[in-house]
Amino acid sequence: MQSRFRSDRRLTVRMGITLFLLGLLYVGFVAALIALLKSWVLVVVIVALVFGAQYWFSDRIALFAMRGRVVERDEYPELHGVVDRLSAMADMPVPVVAVSRMDMPNAFATGRNPDNAVVCVTTGLLRRLEPAELEGVLAHELSHVAHKDVAVITIASFLGVIAGLIVRFAFYSQLFGGRRDQNTLVVLAAVMGVSAAVYGLSFLLIRALSRYRELAADRAAALLTGRPSALASALTKVTGDIARIPTKDLRTAQAFNAFYFTPAFGAEPGLGRLFTTHPSLEQRLEQLGRISAELGEAVPPGRA
């Protein structure tokens, strides 16, 4: 079923290219592991199990990692009401609603398709935002579900996760595995090298897609609600509040930056900003300002 969220052909093309390139990388990665480990059965079984677990249980994994839980309508009636209204406006299935008891203001969507999606907000977000701002954030997350880029990011992340796990396993195996013959050490070093290269390439591909999909979600949410200034206000408020949270308190959350409404970066500058999963706040506000002008919306000073 086609939702009423504005479709984005460029996003669709980018998702297709990303999946195609990652598919090629995936085939090469598996072939290299089979050649190095000389056991295609072991490699295929491990890869299939991890891929299946990530695809089918990605929503549960994300909720568990971020301390989120599914909430019923009587617990958060206003939150459910906004999600219901936006889903009706977008003509899409109503996702499961979850809340994470974290003070960091943020939100994310996960799930393999619109019929099996979860939208989660933190208590910090609910406490800080006005109703119109919250509506903009939730519309942004629902657009990710409608565009199906949540599923693409989940699948795309899979290869990097596998490669990263193999690098760690091989590294600790060398450290604590005791004495090994020279051939075994060469194979372990080769596996680490191939896995590190695959992780790096998938890392870059995912970030290139992720930055554009955030702009596409902002655009679709602003057009659906007709209030880009409210979304701009939420962006400004959330980004500013996250910047005041100590970096050490954000490190766990940073592993899920690709899924968040805005990345979990503290005030301390770091190299991580060079490889961020999101466009800059300035880029996002500039786009929302243009949409406001197109819609003839009166924008409060400094908000877009």
Cβ-in-10-Å burial (0-12, 13-18, 19+) of 132 comes to middle
Binding-site residues from annotation: 140, 144, 214
Asked if 54 and 61 touch (Cβ cutoff 8 Å), the reply is yes
Binding-site residues from annotation for Zn(2+): 140, 144, 214
Task: Please list, in sequence order, all residues whose beta carbon lies within 8 angstroms of the beta carbon of residue 178, skipping any fewer than 6 positions away.
Answer: none
Please pick, among 75, 130, 141, 297, the residue that the annotation labels catalytic. Answer: 141
282 is catalytic: no
Q: 42 to each of 3, 38, 51, how far by Cα in Å?
A: 42, 9, 14
As annotated, the active-site residues are 141
